[in-house]
Chain A
Amino acid sequence: AEGAGLHDEL
Chain B
Amino acid sequence: MNIFRLLGDMCHLVAIIILFLKIWRSKSCAGISGKSQVLFALVFTTRYLDLFTSFISVYNTVMKVVFLVLAYATVYLIYLRFRSTYNSESDSFRVEFLLVPVAGLSFLENYAFAPLEILWTFSIYLESVAILPQLFMITKTGEAESITTHYLFFLGLYRALYLANWVWRYHTEGFFDQIAVVSGVVQTIFYCDFFYLYFTKVLRGSGKMTLP
Chain A interface residues toward B at CB < 8 A: 1-10
Contacts and interface: CB of A to CB of B under 8 A. Distances in A.
A4 B56 CA distance: 15
Contacts of B67: 10
B112 interface: yes
Contacts of B199: none
Nearest to A2: B177
Contacts of B177: 1-2, 7, 9
A9 B114 contact: no
Contact of A10 (B60, B175, B178): B60
A10 B176 CA distance: 15
Nearest to B166: A9
9 contacts: A2-B177, A3-B112, A4-B111, A5-B111, A7-B47, A7-B50, A8-B56, A9-B162, A10-B60
A3 B176 CA distance: 9
Nearest to B63: A10
Classify the interface of chain A: helix, strand, loop or mixed.
loop
Contact of A2 (B5, B50, B110, B175): B175
B180 A3 contact: no
B112 A10 contact: no
A9 B54 CA distance: 13
Contacts of B110: 4
A4 B117 contact: yes
Contacts of B5: 9
B112 A4 contact: yes
B201 interface: no
A2 to B, nearest CB: 5
Contacts of A8: 56, 60
B120 interface: yes
Contact of B114 (A2, A4, A6): A4
A1 B178 contact: yes
B64 interface: yes
Given A1-B111, A1-B176, A9-B165, 12 more contacts: A1-B177, A2-B175, A2-B176, A4-B110, A4-B114, A6-B54, A6-B56, A7-B47, A9-B5, A9-B177, A10-B60, A10-B67
